[in-house]
Structures are given as structure tokens and as C-alpha cells.
């Protein structure tokens, strides 16, 4: 009884301590938020207050109306020069940023660094550099016959020199944020490099590109230091403000400053509101896409039934080499831990080496039931990446329409696929507004509509909940079998691997750890790595006294056993296991301590540890305890297993 009260008192103390810590954390968090809010408001006031004061004094103290006589001309010079700088940056700088973002060569990295230099130069230094290069007596100045200095050309040159690097670097950053599969998807439907940039890359990164162009224009409008050295005449707005201030003081400058602020505000609002013509992008993609022949029948009426796939891929990645050569079934699942090279394998199969910046070799062959071997070119393979690779500026219906055009399939097939994956309710929704699961369903549907000979699926339903995932797995299976589309599926889920694959290939560090029919791989994993991937939660060392129980199954190189969580029974120290004579049971030596016990409804999931020697640390075991949830953290118990459920593994 005393022990019970003592435990209750200790629990109450811990609860009070936790509440005090929570209150203290809340005070600290609230204090930080208050300080940050005050600092943020101070910064906003510091930036906005001078603008308000400017217009206040401007309305009350316009004492030099004659100064407006030069403001119009200066405004025209500033607008013309900044428009020229932005035009050059938009037509040359943005494509250059796109190229630098996609290139992985060393010289492109050097060029990126060099193009950043003008961004960090003081304006006067930039003016000196321009004079040394394009001045009347400079080598390149002779090209302009002395017309670079003190002309509108000089103003345009100075503003372009300081503004273009911002546009290039900003655009490069925007394009770097794009899914690299977008470019591959555009290329795969027949778009040229230029078309891919204009109709896929540019609209996909339009928000970031527009912001970089806006920053470039603002930098050009505000340029003074370089312009005052290169082209003092004709006056731009910053130079006119300087001249008026130098000659007439603060009051004579107000009109110029107010016009400058107003023009800058209107220009910023105008540039920020420019949107990419998405409808034009879709129309242009439709016009440029490679169209398949109009089909009067579905491919299952003309294709032979594929019995086997032969896959050979070899390339060198940063961390390891991929060298895979396997023969698998018509529907094959690929298992492997994260970083094993599964996605790189799919990219290699389709020949998309550019996604990883490497070169490699590939060959994919299908073997029909008639014994015919036929190479599958990359043009007849569709890759469905995990991200979906949907163009964010197109809606769902437009994606499906483009996919249908590439295969020449009829509208009946489109309706069939839309129904199979429940896409009818959001056909008009932009791709960027879709959830992860919706994106994956649209991406898989687009892949099916292209009617390839081989489709590569990288975790196609990983973002879906379990019930919906099972539904779409069956829908996908029906479509693949009906249209005789061979498939290679990457997944971490052994259930999905078995449902969508007749064969399983296990990949580790770019090589094949095991492959074969799904049932064979699941029943007889060849290593601890494979056992963990195909659902064996527990891997233990075989104890010497167990060896006679396994006969020839445990040889000298097999000293580990794998078993699933439902193949073991927990027994409390004061209980006795009444085990049946068949199948035979064995008891694991030592006592296990419960580290975690979770009530799963039909069973209790118990995680246990047993201390081993210092060199081996602790042994972890997971057990599904059927019956009442009677185990709790800290309890000790023994563990019994069915001999028939233990799978021998190589050590």
C-alpha cells in the first residue's frame, strides 16, 4: 500500500514539474514573439515613414515649380534605359540563368561566380570599370566611336551592367527550385530545348523569374554611381536629383524625388502583376508535342504477351556504381532501402542520365511467350517519378489530353482512365493546387494514357492512405494487364510489391542483392538485408543447441534466423508455455525487457530488448501479442518461437 502511495506521489511531482516547464517554455516563447514583433514593426516603420514624410513635405513645400521642366526628360531617360536593361536581361539573362541552373559542368560554375561580381561592386567602381573598357580612348570604346560616354547609350550600358546580374542570378535560383523531372517530361513528349524553356521551364518558375526581373528593374532605376561617371548627360532621375540638390538644396529636389518614387511604385506594381499566358503555353505544347498514330484499336490487340524483361544498366554515381543485370517477369517490383539506387536505376532504364549528371549504358529487352527478343527503346518507356513531374501551369485535364495525344489513343480510353483513378472531379484544377496523392494519381494516369511498352513507377501511391492505395493498386493492375504494358515498380511496401509485381528485385548500393519470383524471395530471403525488406521484423543469432532442429538448413555460413512478429509468443516469468507438439517451439535464451507496448486493437505490438555483450549491444525483437494487452513498459518476459517459422540466413 505504501509503495502504491509513493508511486502516486512521485507521478504527481513529475506532473507538476512538467506543468512548470511548459509554463516556462510558454513565457520564453511569448517573450521572443513579442520582441521579434516589436523589431519587425520598427523595421517596417523605418522603411515606410520616410516615404510618408516625403509626400507630406512635397505637398506643402513645392517652392521650385521650375524644376519640373527637367523631370519629364529625366523620367523618359530613366524609363528608356531601365526598359533596355530589363529587355536585355529578360531575353538573354533569363535563358542564361536557365542554362546555368541545368548545367553541371565546371565552367558553368566558374561563369556563375564571375557573373556575381558586378552585384558586389560599389557603383563608382562599376563606373570606373566601364570607362576603362568602353571610354572614348579605351580599346572597346572605339567600337562606339566615342558615343558611349555622355549619351543615352552610356546610361543604358551602366544600368544593364548593374541590373543584369540580379536577373541572371535570381532566374538561376528560380530554375534550380524546379523538379528536374519537369525538363525530362517535356523532352519526353517531344519538346525541343527552346520549347522546353519557353513553355515548361519559364512558366513553371515564373514567380521567381518575375521577382528577379523586378529586382533588376529597380536596381536599374536607382543606379547613380556608375551612371554619373559614364553618362552624366542626359540626366536620369537620380542624377537630376543630385544636380538639383547640389544647386538649390533640399526643397528643389522634392519634385524629382516624388516623381521617382511614384514611377518606381507604378513600375513595381505593373511588373508584379504580369502573369504568364498559361493558355498560350498549353496551345504551344499541343502544337509541338510528338503525336502518336491515331489508333483504331487498343495496343492489347497488336502486342505480344511479354513473359520476361531483361534489364542491363551500368553507370557511376557520386557514392557508388550502378551495375545491374537481371531477368524478371512482366510485372516486377524493386525493393531497397533509401539511397540504394532504386530511383537512379529507373532513370537509367529510360536513359535519363541527365537527371543525375552522369553517363551510362542501358539495354532493356522483352521476351514474348513466342520466344521473340525485342529491344525496348527509351522512346517507348514512360517514367512516372515519385514527385509526379506535373507542369504546375497546366490543369489536370490538359495533362491527360497531352498524354493521350502522344499515344493517339481515343477519348474512350481517356474516360476509362479518368474513371479508374477518380479524376473527374478535379480535371480543371491546376496541378500546383493538387494534394500529393492527387498528383500521383494524375501522373500514373498520364503514364498509362501514353500506352508505352514499359512503364516505370517510382512509389506511385506512397502519398495515399491504405484503403485508397489498395483500390488504385487493383485499378492499375487491371489497366496494365489489359493493355499489355510491362511495369517496373519501386516501392518500400512489401504488400504493394507483391500485389503489383510477379517478380521482386532487391537493390543495395547499386547492385542486385536478390531477384526472383515474388513468393520465392519473400519465403526464402538470401540475406538479413533482404529479410528486413520483405517483412521479417526480427533477425536473431542461432544458438548452438538449436542446430539439430534445422538439419541441413543451417550450414557453417548460416548462423542467423529471421522471423515475423506474429510468429513468436511472449511468456511471463511466472507462467508456463503449453506448447503443442507440432509445430515444435524453441525458447530464446535470456529474458527480454519491454521497451514499448502499443495497443493495435486486435493485438498488442510489443518491442523488446535483451542486453548482449558489449561488442554486440542490445538485441531488438518485435512481437504481436494476441489477446488482452497485458504487457507494459519495463516488464520482463521470455520469448518462444515456432521452428517452422524461422528462416535461416547467411551470417
| The residue to which cell 523631370 is assigned | 71
The pLDDT tens digits for 207-252 are 999 999 999 999 999 999 999 999 998 999 999 999 988 888 887 8
- Answer yes or no: do 325 and 469 share one domain: yes
- Answer yes or no: do 99 and 201 share one domain: yes
* Whether this model's pTM surpasses 0.85: no
Q: What is the mean pLDDT of residues 93-109?
A: 91
Q: Looking at the predicted structure, is the pLDDT value of residue 538 above 60?
A: yes
- Answer yes or no: do 394 and 509 share one domain: yes
The DSSP 8-state label assigned to residue 304 in this structure reads P
pLDDT category at 1 given cuts 50, 70, 90 is: very low
The pLDDT tens digits for 555-570 are 555 578 899 988 888 8
The C-alpha atoms of residue 585 and residue 490 are separated, in whole angstroms, by 37
Q: What is the mean pLDDT of residues 38-47?
A: 91
Chosen domain end from 496, 520, 544 = 520
The pLDDT tens digits for 421-470 are 999 999 999 998 999 899 999 999 999 999 998 999 999 998 888 888 88
Q: What's the confidence (pLDDT) of residue 9?
A: 45
Q: Summarize the chain as % helix, strand, coil (round to 5).
A: 55, 20, 25
Q: Which domain holds residue 446?
A: 299-520
pLDDT category at 8 given cuts 50, 70, 90 is: low
Domain CATH number, residue 313: 3.40.50.300
The pLDDT tens digits for 315-374 are 877 777 888 888 888 899 999 888 888 888 888 888 888 777 777 888 888 887 666 778
E strand map for 291-397 = 306-316, 321-329, 331-335, 360-368, 373-375, 381-384
Q: What is the mean pLDDT of residues 480-503?
A: 90
Q: What's the confidence (pLDDT) of residue 630?
A: 84
Q: Looking at the predicted structure, is the pLDDT value of residue 512 above 70?
A: yes
Q: What's the confidence (pLDDT) of residue 171?
A: 96
Q: What is the mean pLDDT of residues 110-131?
A: 93
Domain CATH number, residue 178: 1.10.3720.10
- Answer yes or no: do 174 and 280 share one domain: yes
585 vs 13 pLDDT, higher one: 585
Q: What's the confidence (pLDDT) of residue 581?
A: 40
Q: What is the mean pLDDT of residues 594-600?
A: 91
Q: Per the domain annotation, does 28 fall within a domain?
A: no
E strand map for 537-591 = 538-541, 560-563, 568-571, 585-587
Q: Looking at the predicted structure, is the pLDDT value of residue 25 above 70?
A: no
- Answer yes or no: do 260 and 133 share one domain: yes
Task: Please give the radius of gyration of the chain, using alpha carbons only, rounded to the nearest integer.
Answer: 35
Number of domain units in the chain: 3
Q: Looking at the predicted structure, is the pLDDT value of residue 554 above 60?
A: no
- Answer yes or no: do 504 and 541 share one domain: no
- Answer yes or no: do 472 and 564 share one domain: no
Amino acid at each position: 500500500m505504501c509503495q502504491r502511495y509513493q508511486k502516486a506521489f512521485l507521478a504527481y511531482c513529475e506532473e507538476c514539474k512538467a506543468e512548470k516547464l511548459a509554463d516556462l517554455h510558454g513565457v520564453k516563447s511569448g517573450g521572443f514573439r513579442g520582441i521579434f514583433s516589436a523589431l519587425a514593426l520598427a523595421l517596417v516603420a523605418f522603411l515606410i515613414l520616410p516615404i510618408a514624410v516625403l509626400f507630406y513635405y512635397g505637398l506643402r513645400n513645392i517652392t521650385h515649380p521650375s524644376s519640373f521642366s527637367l523631370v519629364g526628360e529625366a523620367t523618359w531617360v530613366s524609363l528608356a534605359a531601365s526598359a533596355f536593361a530589363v529587355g536585355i536581361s529578360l531575353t538573354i539573362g533569363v535563358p542564361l540563368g536557365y542554362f546555368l541552373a541545368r548545367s553541371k559542368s565546371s565552367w558553368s560554375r566558374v561563369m556563375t561566380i564571375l557573373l556575381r561580381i558586378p552585384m558586389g561592386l560599389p557603383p563608382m567602381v562599376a563606373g570606373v570599370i566601364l570607362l576603362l573598357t568602353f571610354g572614348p580612348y579605351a580599346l572597346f570604346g572605339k567600337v562606339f566611336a566615342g558615343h558611349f560616354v555622355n549619351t543615352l547609350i552610356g546610361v543604358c550600358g551602366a544600368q544593364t551592367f548593374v541590373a543584369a546580374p540580379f536577373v541572371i542570378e535570381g532566374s538561376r535560383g528560380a530554375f534550380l527550385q524546379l523538379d528536374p523531372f519537369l525538363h525530362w517530361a517535356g523532352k519526353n513528349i517531344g519538346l525541343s530545348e527552346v520549347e522546353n524553356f519557353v513553355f515548361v521551364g519559364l512558366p513553371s518558375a515564373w514567380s521567381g523569374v518575375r521577382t528577379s526581373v523586378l529586382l533588376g528593374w529597380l536596381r536599374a532605376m536607382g543606379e547613380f554611381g556608375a551612371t554619373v561617371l559614364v553618362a552624366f548627360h542626359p540626366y536620369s532621375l537620380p542624377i537630376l536629383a543630385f544636380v538639383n540638390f547640389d544647386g538649390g538644396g533640399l526643397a528643389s529636389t522634392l519634385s524629382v524625388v516624388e516623381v521617382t518614387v511614384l514611377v518606381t511604385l507604378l513600375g513595381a506594381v505593373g511588373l508584379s502583376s504580369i502573369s504568364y499566358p498559361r493558355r498560350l503555353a498549353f496551345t504551344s505544347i499541343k502544337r509541338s508535342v510528338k503525336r502518336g498514330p491515331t489508333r483504331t484499336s487498343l495496343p492489347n490487340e497488336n502486342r505480344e504477351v511479354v513473359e520476361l524483361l531483361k534489364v542491363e544498366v551500368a553507370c557511376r554515381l557520386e557514392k557508388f556504381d550502378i551495375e545491374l543485370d537481371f531477368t524478371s517477369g512482366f510485372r516486377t517490383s524493386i525493393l531497397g532501402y533509401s539511397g540504394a539506387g532504386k530511383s537512379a536505376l529507373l532513370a537509367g532504364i529510360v536513359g535519363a542520365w541527365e537527371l543525375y549528371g552522369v553517363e551510362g549504358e542501358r539495354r532493356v529487352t522483352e521476351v514474348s511467350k513466342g520466344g521473340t527478343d525485342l529491344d525496348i527503346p527509351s522512346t517507348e518507356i514512360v517514367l512516372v517519378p515519385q514527385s509526379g513531374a506535373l507542369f504546375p501551369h497546366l490543369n489536370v485535364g490538359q495533362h491527360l489530353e497531352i498524354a493521350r495525344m502522344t499515344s493517339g489513343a481515343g477519348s474512350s480510353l481517356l474516360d476509362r482512365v479518368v474513371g479508374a483513378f477518380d479524376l473527374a472531379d478535379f480535371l480543371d484544377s491546376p496541378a500546383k493546387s493538387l494534394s500529393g496523392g492527387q498528383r500521383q494519381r494524375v501522373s500514373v494516369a498520364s503514364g498509362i494514357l501514353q500506352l508505352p511498352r514499359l512503364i516505370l513507377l517510382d512509389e506511385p501511391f506512397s502519398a495515399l492512405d491504405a484503403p485508397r492505395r489498395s483500390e488504385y493498386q487493383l485499378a492499375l493492375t487491371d489497366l496494365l494487364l489489359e493493355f499489355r504494358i510491362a511495369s517496373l515498380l519501386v516501392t518500400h511496401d512489401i504488400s504493394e510489391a507483391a500485389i503489383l509485381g510477379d517478380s521482386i528485385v532487391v537493390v543495395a548500393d547499386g547492385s542486385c542483392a536478390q531477384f526472383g519470383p515474388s513468393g520465392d524471395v519473400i519465403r526464402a530471403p538470401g540475406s538479413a538485408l533482404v529479410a528486413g525488406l520483405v517483412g521479417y521484423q526480427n533477425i536473431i543469432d542461432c544458438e548452438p543447441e538449436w542446430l539439430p532442429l534445422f538439419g541441413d538448413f543451417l550450414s557453417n555460413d548460416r548462423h542467423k534466423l529471421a522471423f515475423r512478429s506474429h510468429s513468436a509468443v511472449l511468456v511471463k516469468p511466472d507462467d508456463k508455455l503449453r506448447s503443442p507438439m507440432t509445430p515444435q517451439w524453441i525458447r530464446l535464451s535470456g529474458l527480454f525487457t519491454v521497451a514499448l507496448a502499443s495497443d493495435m486493437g486486435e493485438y498488442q505490438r510489443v518491442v523488446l530488448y535483451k542486453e548482449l555483450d558489449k561488442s554486440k549491444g542490445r538485441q531488438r525483437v518485435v512481437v504481436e501479442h494476441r489477446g488482452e494487452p497485458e504487457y507494459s513498459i519495463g516488464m520482463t518476459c521470455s520469448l518462444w518461437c515456432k521452428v517452422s517459422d524461422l528462416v535461416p540466413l547467411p551470417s
